[in-house]
A and B are shown apart, each in its own frame.
Chain A
Amino acid sequence: MQTLDEIVASAPIFAELHQDDLLTIAGCSRTAQFAEGEYVFREGQQADVFYLLRRGAVALETFAPGRGPLRLATVHEGEILGWSWLFAPYRWHFDARALESTRAVAFDGECLRGKCDEDHDLGYELMQRFAQIMVSRLQATRFQLLDVYGNGRG
């Protein structure tokens, strides 16, 4: 079984970080598990954590009266869940619910923000990496909005 240090060191989002930075990040982490159907976080709650999914899948949803939960996207093994820990007011914008039994590494956002305030180089590295994730998700969401399969030309 891998240690948290090993998991952090092998995670693509933390690739090529200095060993000291990897240890700092691992020092702000813990393991987490969610049963099928369990909420990982709820819209509006304090967002002081992000997750690296190790196994399973999580759905990002929002609840609409009369329509129930509306599913926006899913996050899967190896992917990062959550970036609201980076930006005030540090609140979740959506619900996240485990679609199946899910294991993750949870990173304490408040802890990491403190480390980044002390070490701006680490802060820059993390900001760059999360910015890349956000750009990818934004592009995918824009593509999704185009509804390209719904124009009758298939």
Chain B
Amino acid sequence: MLRRLRETADTWTLELEPPRQGFEFAPGQFTMLYAFGAGEVPISISGDPARPERLVHTVRAVGPTTRAICSARRGESLVVRGPFGSTWPVEAAEGGDLVVVAGGIGLAPLRPVLYAALARREAFTRIVLLYGARMPDQLLYTAELERLRTQGIEIFLTVDQADEQWRGAVGVVTTLIPRARLDPGRTVAFVCGPEIMMRFTSSSLVQAGIAPERLHVSLERNMKCALGHCGRCQFGPHYICGDGAVFDYPAVEHLLTVPEL
């Protein structure tokens, strides 16, 4: 552990120093993070894929394992397995508009996409981020988002609840879709957040004219081996750990409404 940065009341970004050769990964991948004596959980990598010398995760402390991980101090060690999983097809958006729609901590697995796209800014006509959170103090990376805005990302923010101190938009993240004035024929969209949010958002994007095959979502389920053996993360015919977490929307659209899954 090199650095721990508090993002919100229950969320921290951790910077880890990997072994000498660095930690190569692609946007969308995750690791299994293990805190000694506490356990292991899958956490998406939230750093810059062009900087393998730093392994960055944004972790929300919601249980004993994640609380232990978020409590790690500078100099302490965490065990990392990975990277695992499929990747956001950033190249599919080249020549057109890349639209990233995030809800809550769902921005963490999508931040590497923004870094990767900015590294090749000329390959995209527009890079758009639509981001919603419950309340203003739960928005992630707020200072960095302002910097990314100056570097060519169009950023639309909204919160579900706010007091009169908040001067921005109030409403769910789907209300940002018409405001972004997307060109459906040129848009490739990546969506990540609570699964209900992803269902509503994907439906709204399709209603806005974006073809389902141009949508991609990142799913999560309880996970154990992350190697496609234990079946703990099975989602219909798919294993989240191997076939996902990033899926083409048509591959999972019909599964998202099956309560038993």
What residues make up the interface of A, taking CB atoms closer than 8 Å to B? Answer: 57, 59, 61, 68-69, 71-74, 76-79, 99-100, 139-140, 143-144, 146-154
Contacting residues, chain A, for B196 (C-beta < 8 A)? 143, 146, 148
A-B contacts, 10 of them at CB < 8 A, read A59-B170, A61-B164, A71-B170, A74-B158, A99-B167, A143-B200, A146-B196, A149-B193, A153-B194, A154-B193
Further contacts, 17 of them, CB under 8 A, given A71-B161, A71-B162, A154-B194: A71-B170, A74-B158, A79-B178, A99-B167, A100-B167, A140-B172, A140-B175, A143-B172, A143-B174, A143-B196, A143-B197, A144-B160, A144-B171, A148-B197, A149-B197, A153-B62, A154-B60
B195 to chain A, nearest CB (A): 8
A42 to chain B, nearest CB (A): 16
State the CA gap A72–B134 with chains docked (Å).
13
Contact-size category for B: 20 to 34
State the CA gap A146–B173 with chains docked (Å).
13
Contact B170 A147 (CB under 8 A): no
B128 to chain A, nearest CB (A): 16
Residue of B nearest to A148 (CB): B194
Could you tell me the dominant secondary structure of chain A's interface residues?
mixed
CB-contacts of B153-197 with A (<8 A): 158, 160-164, 166-172, 174-175, 178-179, 193-194, 196-197
Contact A73 B179 (CB under 8 A): no
Contacting residues, chain A, for B161 (C-beta < 8 A)? 71
B233 to chain A, nearest CB (A): 15
Contact A154 B62 (CB under 8 A): yes
CB-contacts of B9-59 with A (<8 A): 11
Contacting residues, chain B, for A144 (C-beta < 8 A)? 160, 171-172
Contact A147 B160 (CB under 8 A): yes
Contact B194 A140 (CB under 8 A): no
Contact B179 A76 (CB under 8 A): yes
Contact A147 B134 (CB under 8 A): yes
Residue of A nearest to B132 (CB): A149
9 closest A-B pairs by CB: A154-B105, A149-B134, A148-B194, A149-B104, A143-B172, A74-B170, A152-B62, A148-B196, A73-B171
Could you tell me the dominant secondary structure of chain B's interface residues?
mixed
Contacting residues, chain B, for A79 (C-beta < 8 A)? 178-179
State the CA gap A146–B194 with chains docked (Å).
11
Contacting residues, chain A, for B172 (C-beta < 8 A)? 140, 143-144
State the CA gap A73–B167 with chains docked (Å).
12
Contacting residues, chain B, for A57 (C-beta < 8 A)? 169
B106 at the interface (CB under 8 A from A): yes
Contacting residues, chain B, for A76 (C-beta < 8 A)? 169, 179
Residue of B nearest to A70 (CB): B163
Contacting residues, chain B, for A72 (C-beta < 8 A)? 170
Contact B169 A71 (CB under 8 A): no
State the CA gap A78–B11 with chains docked (Å).
35
Residue of B nearest to A99 (CB): B167
Contacting residues, chain B, for A73 (C-beta < 8 A)? 170-171, 175
Contacting residues, chain A, for B169 (C-beta < 8 A)? 57, 74, 76
State the CA gap A153–B106 with chains docked (Å).
10
**CB < 8 Å: which of A77, A149, A152 contacts B160?**
A149
Contact A149 B171 (CB under 8 A): no
State the CA gap A149–B200 with chains docked (Å).
14
Contact A78 B167 (CB under 8 A): no
State the CA gap A41–B44 with chains docked (Å).
46
Given contacts A68-B164, A71-B163, A71-B166, contact A140 B138 (CB under 8 A): no
B112 at the interface (CB under 8 A from A): no
State the CA gap A153–B196 with chains docked (Å).
11
State the CA gap A110–B178 with chains docked (Å).
29
Contact A74 B134 (CB under 8 A): no
State the CA gap A147–B194 with chains docked (Å).
10
Residue of A nearest to B105 (CB): A154
